[in-house]
Structure 1
Amino acid sequence: MQIAILGNQVSWYCDQLQQAARTRGHEASKIEFRDMAAFVNNNAREQFFSYDAEQTQISLPHFDCLIIRTMPPGSLEQVVFRMDLLGRLEQSGITVFNSPRAIECAVDKYLTTSRLAAAGLPVPATAICESSEAALQHFSQMGSDVVVKPLFGSEGRGIFRISDPDLAYRSFRTLERTQAVIYLQQYIAHPGYDLRILLLNGKVIGAIRRHGHNDFRTNVSRQGQAELYHPTDREVELAVQAAALTDAEFAGVDLLSPADAPDECYLLEVNAVPGWRGFQSATNIDVATLVIEYLEQKRNNKPTASH
């Protein structure tokens, strides 16, 4: 196969995928969103390109598979164009992994949380609004102890906990002035760790327990420590359902149990561009190779696409 890996050129994950693809006899190239373009006219089929460091055009339909390893911040126009382009590439016959439909849902915390809640799955009490006045009302209703998160974001970036009313007022006013959407969840006191279950094609690859490092956030990217964990049947059931609701074939599902109710479990996030560095070090599972093997199966079983 010819494989394109859409991500940061110096990313460890891109390197892992490229190495796994080449080991299995495939060609693998790295590209970035900023270098992608489309050309449309009324005399020919739509054309899709990327550009290398020398600004040489690379025809994207040359690739069989496009693995998405990033969804960087951008303006509304940039985000809409990226999602539209991924959708058009998929329609052209390229296997886009995860699918644009899954990426669109999983990068949007509101859409993910609302889908999970609508299906009856347990999520923390969550408020999403644009005005600081509404955010302050929800802050009070949630016991004046909340976690504020960016609507788009990952690896714990931009997340902070607020339990002081004055600080909440200033924070919400700042977010409102910057035209941000204010996303806040009721803080759940936990025993210092949460769970990450990694899934591929609806099946559990493995799971880890992540311990925070002097921080309520447990992300390994923020110095959290990962250890091998064997999830319960209930935890597996929730993770599989959550991944299916976001259409993510490759997903990292985060779960959290309250300190005072360890038998309960909340779904925190479904990540359709999941990291696995800490997971791999704790489980010794070669995730990149599993991804490439799965893409081989998808391409072998894929019907011919109409353009």
Structure 2
Amino acid sequence: MDANARLPRIGVLANEDSWYFQDLQRAAIGKAQVQRLEFSALQSRIGGRESISADAVLSDNFDAVIVRSMPPGSLEQVVFRMDALAGLERQGVLIINPPKSMELAIDKYLSLSKLSAAGYRVPQTHVCQTWQDAMDAFEELGPSVVVKPIFGGEGRGIMRVEDADLAHRVFKTLQQMDQIIYLQKFVPHPGYDLRVLVLGEMTWGMRRTSADSWRTNLSRGASASAESIPDEVAQVALDAVKTLDLSIAGLDFLPDGVGGWYLLEANAVPGWKGLAKACDVDIAAKLIDYVIARVTS
């Protein structure tokens, strides 16, 4: 057997043109074998020991699988994909992040509910199904609210609503589309927020600044710079990740203007391209080392 065959084998669920897969592949040279996998290729054979594959039987060919994409799909597709990853986990394959934890984190309502119940400070949020209930919530939380999709990231589908007539039209449209209506009280902020990336017990901080928008997503033109993490924020980030049982996560914090912070949400498939550059740290190498340590311990 050649030396390369003895290296840990890591699958990465990622898009074909994924920069993150390429970054992980680079970081793994000499440390691990890394191969891209497609969510759409996941399949299972049941009868005897369950066989879960994506071109090849995964439990026989991989020690770990890193989830780097969450492609859209029907409810059945999403449920099956998470079920298949849970099956791999039962067969001893390390999944980053664990499927049950990802299910929790990608659901903004469920994750925020759990974080709030655990005592973390989150914005006032109302989740409902009818435009009438949403208008009542708008009257209570307004005069400015942020409307978000329960699933989604990078600022997609988020809008700020400050006018009752516009709110009426937005909420009615969402109900007609059979969408859940998720609205949060708008928290004024000084043009920036803090993204904290947590990997195991390690943390890195990045300030995301937007001069002309209340949204600070890098994908929407915000700038990034390294930021020291206040001790209390770092502790909340580490504790929140444990609450959600995540191995790696990006947590968004918003200053309240009087020295405190709100925890907005936790991202279970966090990007690190901007943060790695801003903080001058090789996150891909850190993640590969973390996975190798887990599978060889």
Q: Confirm or deny that 1:18 pairs with 2:25.
A: yes
Which whole-Å CA distance do the structure 2 matches of 1:32 and 1:171 have between them?
Answer: 35
Deviations 1:23-79 (A, max 9, x none): 1332111112111111112xx3111111xxxxxx32211111100011122211111
User: More displaced, 122-131 or 32-41?
Assistant: 32-41
Counterpart CA distance in 2 for 1:267 and 1:25 is 36
Q: How many residue pairs end up in the alignment?
A: 289
Distance 1:257 1:4 in 2: 38
Report whether the alignment pairs 1:140 with 2:144. no
**Hey, what's the Cα distance between the residues in 1 that align with 2:118 and 2:289?**
31
Q: Which aligned segments of 4 or more residues in structure 1 are displaced greater than 4 angstroms?
A: none
Deviation of residue 82 (structure 1)?
1.2
Alignment of 1:86-101 (within 5 A): 86-101=85-100
What is the match of residue 284 of structure 1? 280
Q: Which amino acid aligns with 1:243?
A: V
Q: Paired residue for 1:161?
A: 160
Q: Is the 8 A contact 1:20 1:288 kept in 2?
A: yes
2:243 aligned residue (245, 262, 274): 245
Contact 1:98 1:248 in 2 (8 A): yes
Equivalent residue, structure 1, for 2:124: 125
Distance 1:129 1:202 in 2: 36
Deviations 1:168-201 (A, max 9, x none): 1111111111111111110001000000011111
**The one of 29, 37, 48 aligned to 1:31:** 37
Identity of aligned residues (%): 43
**Cα drift, residue 213 of structure 1:** 4.9
| Counterpart selection for 1:268 from 246, 249, 264 | 264
Instruction: Provide the rounded CA distance (Å) in 2 between the counterparts of 1:196 and 1:272.
Output: 13
TM-score (norm. length: structure 1): 0.92
* 1:84-115 C-alpha deviation (Å, 9 max, x unpaired): 11111110111101111221111010111111
Distance 2:161 2:249 in 1: 29
Give the match for residue 207 of structure 2.
209
Q: Could you tell me how far apart the structure 2 residues matched to 1:265 and 1:179 are?
A: 33
Instruction: Tell me, yes or no, if the aligned pair for 2:52 and 2:87 is still in contact at 8 Å.
Output: no
Q: Does 1:8 align with 2:19?
A: no
Does residue 49 of the first structure (1) align with residue 53 of the second (2)? yes
Give the equivalent residue in structure 2 for 1:304: none
* Pair 1:198 & 2:202 matched: no
Taking the aligned partners of 2:42 and 2:100, their CA distance within structure 1 comes to 19
The runs of 5 or more residues in structure 2 that have no matched partner are 1-7
* Residue equivalent to 1:232: 230
Kept after mapping to 2: 8 A contact 1:5/1:18? no
Is the 8 Å Cα contact of residues 10 and 63 (structure 2) preserved in structure 1?
Answer: yes
Assess if the C-alpha contact under 8 Å between 1:200 and 1:251 holds in 2. Answer: yes
